[in-house]
Amino acid sequence: MKDITFRAAVAGDWAQISQLLRDNDLPLDGAEMHLNGFILAYQGQTLAGCAALERYDRAALLRSVVTRKAFRGLGLGQELVRHVLDMARSEGIRDVVLLTTTADKFFPRFGFSAVRRETAPDAVKESAEFQGACPDSAITMQLKLE
Ligand SMILES: CC(C)(COP(=O)(O)OP(=O)(O)OC[C@H]1O[C@@H](n2cnc3c(N)ncnc32)[C@H](O)[C@@H]1OP(=O)(O)O)[C@@H](O)C(=O)NCCC(=O)NCCS
């Protein structure tokens, strides 16, 4: 992973972020509203990947975890998730939840495990992903932070 820099998103980043999400068939619903929870990885001017936290009091939804194809298998996806989980810990968030149809084997390495959708914190169930942007068939995963 050469010359990758990480930073928080700002309003002007939305066009590039939304394109990356679209290119990878990830939902856009609710994402722009939570732009301040996005961590971005850049190589020069190229957005190499992102991951985001939607905050709901002491719980959060982890979403929009994606790396551009040319940057896969280099550790970038894991680095982005670690950044976002560090951010969650530093904010006192206790529960992190995610929905996935494609990567349920990727997240256990961070401590996530599959749970029943109903057991997710109520506040997180208000998110656009829970409200329909992710199909019912998506797997719900949860991580409890110390
Ligand atoms: C999932 C994703 C972010 C991983 O990014 P990455 O930069 O390739 O990840 P890393 O290089 O840090 O990690 C590679 C490891 O993750 C595993 N991995 C990558 N994608 C995976 C997936 N979809 N399911 C299970 N494991 C996956 C690799 O097999 C590799 O495992 P290893 O460490 O045991 O060799 C990337 O494949 C992606 O953007 N996918 C499309 C979008 C997506 O499905 N996002 C998840 C939405 S919830």
For 41-87, the pLDDT digits (tens) are 999 999 999 999 999 999 999 999 999 999 999 999 999 999 999 99
Kind and range of the H or E element at 96? strand 95-100
Best of 61, 72, 85, 112 to mutate for ligand 1, by most ligand atoms within 8 A of CB? Answer: 72
Residue 135 is given by DSSP the state -
Q: Is the CB of 75 under 6 A from ligand 1?
A: yes
Tokens at 146, concatenated: 């110390």
Q: Which amino acid is at 96?
A: V
Q: Is the CB of 140 under 6 A from ligand 1?
A: no
Q: Is the CB of 2 under 6 A from ligand 1?
A: no
Q: What is the length of the chain?
A: 146
- Cβ partners under 8 Å of residue 64, min gap 6: 17, 21, 26, 31, 38, 50, 51, 52
Q: Is the pLDDT of residue 146 over 90?
A: no
Phi-psi region of 7 (alpha: psi -120 to 50; beta: other; left: phi over 0): beta
Assess contact for 94 and 144: CB atoms under 8 A.
yes
Tokens at 118, concatenated: 């109903």
3-state secondary structure of 35: helix
Q: Which amino acid is at 59?
A: A
Regarding pTM above 0.95, the answer is: yes
Q: Is the CB of 106 under 6 A from ligand 1?
A: yes
∠89-90-91 over CA atoms, to 5°? 90
Q: What is the pLDDT of residues 87-120, one digit of tens each?
A: 999 999 999 999 999 999 999 999 999 999 999 9
